Amino acid sequence: MPATVPHHIKTISAYHQAMGLPSPRHPMVSVISFDEHKKNYTASSASFVFDFYTIALKRNFNGKIKYGQQDYDFDEGIMTFMAPGQVLRIEVDNIAPVNHSGWLLLFHPDFLRNCPLAQPIRNYEFFGYAVHEALFLSENEEAVINAIMHSIQQEYRQNIDAFSQNIIVSHIEVLLSYAERFYSRQFITRKAASHLILERLEKTLHTYFESAALRTEGLPTVQYIAKALSLSPNYLSSMLKTLTGRTTQQHIHDRLIEKAKEKLSATGLSVSEIAYALGFGHPQSFTKLFKIKTGTSPVAFRQSLN
C-alpha cells in the first residue's frame, strides 16, 4: 500500500480547528490542557506535519504515537519535543475517548522573532529525538513541568499586551532548561540501558573497522552508527556526551586512530597505503586528522616505536 500523505498543518489556528478546539487566543502560541480538552478518535491512524514547535507532556494516552519508524505507548508521564517539519503519526486501535492528561504547548518560530531564544532554540538537540527517546519524568520533575505549563497558561489567558510575548518566551526558555537537566539525569540514572548502548556502539565500530566497508565506503557516518543502534543521531550524541564527554563523531575518530596505530606499528604499509585502507581518499587528510588527534604525524609515531 502507498504511504499515506501526512496532513500538513501550517498554523496553530488550523491545528485548533482540526482538533475541535476553540480558536487560540494568540495566532502564534497556544497552551492546551488535556484535562480540559478531550478528543474522541475513531479506530484509525493519521500522520501530521506541523509548521510550528510542539512540546507535549502526556500520561495515559490509549493509542500509539509514531515518530519515524518507532512507536511508544503513552502510559506514564513523558515529554516529547518536535520541531517544525517533523512527521508525527497517531494510531488508535479502538473507538474510545482519549483519556490522557497533561499539556500541549504550541508555538510558531515567528513567535520567537526578536527574542533572545530565537537562535539558541536550534541548539536544543532533543527537538530531534525520536518518540521512543522521550523524556521520562519522575514525580517531582513532572510537578516542575506542570507548574511551568500552568504559568504559561495563566499568562496566555490574560489579555494580550506588550509584555505577553516576552513573559511567555521566558517561561518556554525555563521549560527547555529544565528539559536539558532532566535529560542529563535520564542518561545517568538509566545507566544499565546507557552502558548497553555503549557496548553495542563499540561492537558496531569494531565490526565496521574490521570489514571491507572501511576501504570501500569510507568512515562510518554518525547517521550510519545511530541507525545501527536504532537511535536518532542527536540522542546518541547527547547520551555519549553525558556519559563519556565525547560525541559520536569523536568515538568514530577514536576507533580510527586506534586502527591507524595498529597498522603503523604492526605492518610495513606506507602512510599512503594505510590512509587508503582506512577509507581516506587523500593521504593528506589522514595525516592531518592523525596529527590533530595525537599531536604527532603518522611517520613520527612510527619512528617513536623504534
- Same domain for 154 and 267, yes or no, is no
Contacts of 147 (CB under 8 A, 6+ apart): none
What is residue 294's predicted lDDT score, i.e. its pLDDT?
94
Q: 243: domain CATH number? A: 1.10.10.60
CATH number, position 39:
2.60.120
Q: What is the pLDDT of residues 223-260, one digit of tens each?
A: 999 999 989 999 999 989 888 888 999 999 999 999 99
Query: What residue numbers bound the domain in which 294 lies?
Result: 192-304
Q: Which residues contact 188 (CB under 8 A, 6 or more apart)?
A: 194, 242, 243
* The model's pTM: 0.75
Task: Look at residues 189, 211, 245 and tell me which one is the last residue of a structural domain.
Answer: 189
pLDDT at 6 over 90: no
**pLDDT value of residue 20:** 87
Whether 14 shows a pLDDT value over 60: the answer reads yes
Rounded Cα–Cα distance for residues 226 and 192 (Å): 18
End position of a domain, from candidates 189, 208, 229: 189
Classify the C-alpha dihedral 58-59-62-68 as positive or negative. Answer: positive
Q: Are residues 246 and 260 in the same domain?
A: yes
pLDDT in tens, 47-98: 788 999 999 998 765 555 544 444 444 445 788 899 998 877 766 555 445 5
